[in-house]
Amino acid sequence: MRKFLIGFMALLTHIGLAQAHSLDDVVVVLDSGDARITLINQATRQTIGSFATGKEPHHLMATPNSQDLIVANAVSNDLMLLDPKTGKPIGSVPDIPDPYQIGFSPDHRWFVVNCLRLNRVDIYRYDQGKFQLAKRIPLKALPSHMAFTADSKTVYISLQETNAVAAIDLPTQTVLWSMKVGETPAGLWLTPGDKTLLVALTGSDAVVAVDPRTRTILKRIVTGKAAHNFRSMADGRHVLVSNRVSDTISILDMDTLTKVGDITGLRPGPDDMELSADRRWLWVTFRFARAVGVIDMTTRKLVDVIPVGKSPHGIYFYNRAPFYDNLPPLSELAQRVAAAR
Amino acid sequence: MINPLDWISHVTSLLVGEVQTWVFVTLVQPVLYHFHLMVDDDFAYDGVLWFLAGLLQIAVVYAVLRPLEALRPLEIWPNRRAVRVDVLYTFINRLGLINLVLFFTLQPLFDSLQEWLRLRGIDNINLDMLWPGVTDRPLVAFLIYFIVLDFAGYWYHRAQHQIQWWWELHAVHHSQRQLSLWADDRNHLLDDVLMAAFFAALALLIGVPPTQFVALSLVSGALQSLQHANTRLSFGWLGERLLVSPRFHRLHHAIGYGHELGHQNNARLYGCNFGVLLPWWDVLFRSADFTTPLQPTGVRAQLPAPDGLGEDYGDGFWAQQWLALRRMARRIAQRTTARTTDSPRKPPSGGQTA
C-alpha cells in the first residue's frame, strides 16, 4: 500500500511537472550578442533554460502553418527551426545568407529576407516548407524591417542608412519605388486596409504616416526618442511602438494617427514586443539591459524584469494575440491559401 | 550543484552588463542621438564593451606585471622616461580607438567585399560548426580560433619583417630599447589599422563569434604584455616550447639578431622567434631560437656609428609616427629607383643589414 501511495504521488508530481513544462507557455528570447536562445516560462516568468543557436540571431517568426518557429541567424547564414510551443530545436535550413529580418507574404508564397549586412533583399518562393531563391535584389543601404500588403503583391522595406522606404513588387520581384521618409527608418506597419504605412524613425522621435499610393507623408506623430518597432494591440485600432532612447512604448491610434498614451519607466532599449493572447501582458526585450520585461497592460506598468543574455532582440510565444492589423485572421488566410492551391 | 566557473561567469556577465548599460545609456547613446548617428547604435553598444574590457585588461596587466618588473627586473634603467610614450600607445590601442577608425574607414569596404563574395557563392567557413556538438563548445571553439589566428599571426609577423616598406612601420615597435609591459602596443597607427583589418577579415572569414573575438583579444593582449615585460621570468624548458615566454620574445627584439634582415644567426631566416603566442610555428618552420643568451634590444640603425647609422626613430608619439612614414617613403622610392635603373640592389640606409 505504501509503495502504491509513493508511486501514486510520484505520478502526480510527474504529471504536474510535465504540465508546467509542456504547456504552450514558453517564451523564446533571442540573445543576439551571445548567439543563444533563452527560454522562459510564460506563467512563472522563470528562466527554464538556454541553448546555443547560430551567430547573431536577431528575429524570429512562425511558419505559415505555425508548425515551426524560424530563428534567423544573420552571421551563421542559416535558419534554425524550433518547436514553437516548447522552444526545442527541431531542424535547420542552411544557406540562407545574412537573414537579418524575415517575413512571409500573407498568401504564404513568398519568404522575404532582409540582408542587412549585405545590402540586399533576397526573395524566396515558399512551398510546403521548401525555400527556393527567386531573386536577389541589391538595395542600399541597410535594409532592416518589412511590411506586406494584404494582397501579397507588395512588400515595403525600410532602408536605415539611406533614410528611405522601398516598395518591391513580389510577383515580378522588382523595386517599384523608394522614397525618403526621415532619419534611420526601422519598423514598418500597415494600418487596416493597407491605408497608411507607419514608419518608425530610430534617428528621430517620431513615426511618420505615409500614404503608399501617393507616396506622400501624411503626418509626423511624435512618440519618443528613437522610435523603433511596432506591435499590434490586436484591437483593430491601436498599435504599440517602442522608443529605444527614451525607454518608452507609445500607443498610437491608427484611425486618428495620434499618440494616445505612453508606457514609461522601462529599462534601456525597448525593442521587439509580444502580447499575450488575453491582451493582458506585453513582453518586451530590453536591448541594452540584458533583460526582458513584462508590462501589465491594464495598469501600463512594468511588473517584471527577467535577466537574459546580451542584446536580446526577437521574442515569441505561441499563445499570443494576433500580430498583424492589415491581415485577416490566420484561419481565414489558411483557407484562402488552400483554395488558391 | 552550481559550477563555480559558471557562477563566476554569470556574476561577471551581470556586472559587466550593468556597467556597459550605464556607460552606453548615460554617455554614448545621447551623443549618438544628438549627432544623428543612431544607425550605429548597436556597434556603439558593442564598442562600449571593448572599451570596458580594455580598461579592465590594462588594470589587471598593470597590477600583476608592474610589481614583477619592480621586484625582478631584467634590465636596470636610470629612469622610465622612454617608457611613457608606450603607455599612450597602450591606451590608444586597447581602449578600442583603432577599431573605431577601422569601423568608419574600412567597414564599408568589408561589407562590399562580403556582399561580392556571397553573390558568387563564397561563404565564410564557421570553423566552430565543423563538428557540431564538439567544436561548437565554447572552450573548444576558443582553442580552435586561438590556434588558427595565432598561425596567421606568425606569418603576418614574418611579412612585417620581410617586406621592406612594411618593416619601416613595424620598426616603430622594435625601436623601443627599454622593453616593458607597455611596449606591446607601440606600433605605427597605419600598421595597427592594417593588422586590425587583417584579423577582423580573417575572424569574419572563419566565423569567430563576436564574444569569442573579445575574449581572444583580451587573452592575446595580456600574454603579449607579459612577453614584453622587463622581468626575469622563466617558463621552464617545456613551458618555453608551449607558450611564447618573455625570454623567447626578447630575443626576437635583440639588435642585429632577432629581427633584422641579412644577419647570420642560427635561426637561418631573417631573424628568429616570430611566434605571437605559440612558439610551435617557429619550431615547425625552423625559426625558433631557445638557446642564444639575451642581448640588448632595439634596431641596429639607431646605434651610433660605427655599429649603426645613428638614425633618429623619435622619442615622442608624433615624431615616431612621422619618421616611420618618412622611412617607408624612402624605401618605396629606393625600390622604384632600383627598378627603373635596373641597377643592382644596394642595402638601404634604414638599418636592415648586418
Whether the pLDDT of residue A81 is over 70: the answer is yes
Per mean pLDDT, which range of A22-26, A89-93, A264-268 is the poorest? A22-26
Supply the pLDDT for residue B137. Answer: 79
Q: Which three cell numbers stand for residue B221?
A: 593582449
Whether the pLDDT of residue A20 is over 60: the answer is no
Whether the pLDDT of residue A22 is over 50: the answer is no
Q: Which residues of A102-115 are buried (b: 16+ CB within 10 A; e: fewer)?
A: bbbbbbbbbbbbbb
| Residue A163 backbone zone (phi > 0: left; psi -120 to 50: alpha; other: beta) | left
| CA of A169 vs chain B CAs: smallest distance (Å) | 22
| CA of B243 vs chain A CAs: smallest distance (Å) | 29
Domain that holds residue B196: 12-341
For chains A and B, what is the number of CB pairs under 8 angstroms? Answer: 79
Cβ(A230)–Cβ(A324) below 8 Å:
no
| CA of A130 vs chain B CAs: smallest distance (Å) | 20
Reported as a pLDDT band with limits 50, 70 and 90, residue A15 is: very low
Supply the pLDDT for residue A332. Answer: 66
CB contact under 8 A, A118 and B114: yes
Measured between beta carbons, the chain A residues lying within 8 angstroms of B119 are 136
Stretches where chain B sits below pLDDT 50 are 263-268, 343-354
A34-53 pLDDT, tens digit per residue, is 888 999 999 999 999 888 88
- The Cα B98–Cα B104 span in angstroms is 10
Closest Cβ–Cβ partner in B30, B46, B136 for A52: B136
- Find the helix or strand (DSSP H, E) in which A197 lies: strand A197-201
- The Cα B6–Cα A136 span in angstroms is 43
Q: What is the mean pLDDT of residues A12-28?
A: 55
Cβ(B184)–Cβ(B347) below 8 Å:
no
Chain A interface mutation, best of B20, B35, B42, B46, highest count of A Cβ atoms under 10 Å: B42
Supply the pLDDT for residue B6. Answer: 63
Whether the pLDDT of residue A223 is over 90: the answer is yes
Per the prediction, chain A carries an average pLDDT of 87
Q: What residues pair up with B237 in beta bridges, in sequence order?
A: none
| CA of A89 vs chain B CAs: smallest distance (Å) | 14
Closest CA to A165 of A189, A154, A181: A181
Is residue B154 domain-resident?
yes
B305 touches chain A (CB under 8 A): no
Chain B interface mutation, best of A137, A288, A292, highest count of B Cβ atoms under 10 Å: A288
> Could you give the angle at the alpha carbon of A116 between the alpha carbons of A266 and A147, nearest 5°?
70
Closest Cβ–Cβ partner in B21, B30, B111 for A119: B111
- The Cα A331–Cα A165 span in angstroms is 30
ipTM given for this complex: 0.75
Other beta carbons within 10 Å of B122: 10
Boundaries of every domain in chain A: 28-99+269-320
Instruction: Kindly identify which residue of chain B lies nearest to residue A34, measuring between CA atoms.
Output: B211
B46 touches chain A (CB under 8 A): yes
B36 touches chain A (CB under 8 A): yes
Supply the pLDDT for residue B351. Answer: 39
Residues 6+ apart with CB under 8 A from B254: B292, B294, B295, B296, B297
Tally the residues of chain B: 354
The structural domain count of chain B equals: 1
Q: Which residues of B43-64 are buried (b: 16+ CB within 10 A; e: fewer)?
A: ebbbbbbbbbbbeebbeebbee
Supply the pLDDT for residue A341. Answer: 59
B139 touches chain A (CB under 8 A): no
Q: Provide the 3-class DSSP secondary structure of residue A339.
A: helix
Q: What are phi and psi of A254, to 5 degrees?
A: -75, -20
Q: Provide the 3-class DSSP secondary structure of residue B278.
A: coil
Q: What residues pair up with A123 in beta bridges, in sequence order?
A: A112, A135
B104 touches chain A (CB under 8 A): no
| Residue B310 backbone zone (phi > 0: left; psi -120 to 50: alpha; other: beta) | left
Supply the pLDDT for residue B4. Answer: 62
> What is the DSSP annotation of A80-122?
EEE-TTT--EEEEE-------EEEE-TTS-EEEEEETTTTEEE
Whole-angstrom CA distances from B258 to A60, B40, B125 are: 54, 43, 35
> Could you give the angle at the alpha carbon of A12 between the alpha carbons of A49 and B2, nearest 5°?
30
- The Cα B324–Cα B312 span in angstroms is 10
pTM above 0.90, yes or no: no
Is residue B157 domain-resident?
yes
Supply the pLDDT for residue A170. Answer: 94
Reported as a pLDDT band with limits 50, 70 and 90, residue A11 is: very low
Closest CA to A226 of A184, A286, A166: A184
- The Cα A240–Cα A233 span in angstroms is 7
Instruction: Kindly identify which residue of chain A lies nearest to residue B108, measuring between CA atoms.
Output: A117
- The Cα B247–Cα A306 span in angstroms is 49
Whether the pLDDT of residue A196 is over 50: the answer is yes
- The Cα B326–Cα B311 span in angstroms is 12
CB contact under 8 A, A289 and B21: yes
A74-79 LR contacts (CB < 8 Å, sep 24+): A74/A98, A74/A99, A74/A100, A74/A116, A74/A117, A75/A117, A75/B207, A75/B209, A76/A35, A76/B126, A76/B129, A76/B207, A77/B123, A77/B124, A78/A54
A→B contacts (Cβ < 8 Å), by residue, are 33-35, 52, 55-56, 75-77, 95, 97-98, 117-120, 136, 138, 142, 160-161, 183-184, 202-203, 225-226, 244-245, 268-269, 287-290, 307, 310-311
Q: What is the mean pLDDT of residues A274-290?
A: 93
Q: Rounded to a whole number, what is the distance in angstroms from the first to the last CA of chain B?
A: 63
- Of B352 and A206, the one with more pLDDT: A206
Percent of chain A with pLDDT over 90: 63
| CA of B196 vs chain A CAs: smallest distance (Å) | 20
